Amino acid sequence: MTTTESRTLTYAEAVREALSQAMEADERVFLLGEDVGTYGGAFGVTGDLVHRFGEERVRDTPISELGIVGAAVGAALAGMRPIVEIQFSDFTAQAMDQIVNQAAKIHFMLGGAATVPMVLRAPGGSGTGAAAQHSQSLEAWFAHVPGLKVVMPATAADAKGLLLAAIDDPNPVIVLEHKLLYKQSGVVPQSPARVRLGETAVRRDGTDLTIVATGVMVSRALEAAEQLAATGIEAAVLDPRTLRPLDSKTIVDSVTATGRALLVQEAPKTGGFMAEVSAAIVESPAFGHLTAPVTRLCGLDVPIPYAPQLEKAAVPQTEDIVKAATGLVNQW
């Protein structure tokens, strides 16, 4: 098999392969986090990397997110390229001072004299019965902070390619992986091919409306688009992939062509990232081409419930996207 060939991997395997290839290519790259070593990570993502690269480069840490990220910031300033794993993205709340006030700011406060080339990986989202403190979608927190780049891969190939690009970046990148995607499979290049940060992917072409979705909502939007096509509605599906910097031009071009925009996110509606996408559309020339109000379909403004039925009801499902899209097209 040549290095240009592709094969099917799970999303988790694709992340692990990116970590492995980055560590093979650069001795400055190392991993740290709770249970990333012998245990293989809370979701098994780091797997056997400790046996391949040793405990110096795959470091188990105490249960202290603030300390973990602080150590990564220091190591990055000293010339290393640390990759932090936070077991659940909810736990980043413990480390926000280091993320927001240190990692994101140092490059600018020192006039560009220092860089902080660290990556923070964290799984988020609902659907695993992990309840309110382990199921949140917090991307809007990080996308709001100048100095941070924020990535939400929705496919196995992007999980690898975006992570490799994040590791190359000279300043901090937050990679938000969705727990439900870890076991999903897709075609992944064997080569260490990068997916450039800041490029929206067009997952499906369409003429009647544009659906913009992130994370696990991308696959649900694609399922919805197939069902809509059976009723004569052709929906384009766009996946921003990088929330900051956001490639709004690709979104604006699509909405300009279709005249309708349905914005889908798992996070609660109030203050969510899709409000930013909505603003990008209405502040652009696409506004003059709209035949319908820009519409958001989001999670409910509630903590994620533990009960499976309530957990499912709290976030958009495929049938909800079909219903919202159909209403948008038929009403306008």
* Residue at token pair 């991307």: 139
Query: What percent of the chain lies above the pLDDT cut of 90?
Result: 98
CB 34 within 8 A of CB 63: yes
Mean pLDDT of 33-55: 97
Split at pLDDT 50, 70, 90, the class of 5 is confident
How buried is residue 43: exposed, middle or buried, by Cβ count under 10 Å (0-12/13-18/19+)?
Answer: middle
58-80: average pLDDT: 98
The average confidence (pLDDT) of the chain is 97
Angle 248-258/273-282 helices, nearest 10 degrees?
Answer: 60
Quote the strand ranges of the chain, DSSP E.
6-10, 29-33, 58-60, 81-85, 119-124, 149-151, 173-178, 185-189, 201-204, 209-213, 235-239, 242-244, 261-268, 295-299
What stretch of H or E contains 323?
A: helix 318-331
In the chain, the domains with their CATH numbers are 6-189 (3.40.50.970), 201-331 (3.40.50.920)
Residues 6+ apart with CB under 8 A from 59: 30, 31, 32, 33, 36, 37
**Residues 63/37, Cβ–Cβ less than 8 Å:** no
Q: What are the pLDDT digits (tens) for 250-300?
A: 999 999 999 999 999 999 999 999 999 999 999 999 999 999 999 999 999
Is the confidence at residue 224, as pLDDT, over 70? Answer: yes
pLDDT, mean of residues 18-33: 98
Give the mean model confidence (pLDDT) for residues 183-197.
Answer: 97
Q: CA torsion angle for 17, 30, 172, 151 (degrees, to 10)? A: 20
pLDDT band of residue 1 (cuts 50, 70, 90) is very low
- pTM for the model: 0.96
Give 113-172 pLDDT, tens digit per residue. 999 999 999 999 999 999 999 999 999 999 999 999 999 999 999 999 999 999 999 999
Give the catalytic positions in this structure: 65, 134
Structure-token pair, residue 101:
């006030």
Structure tokens at 165: 């690009």
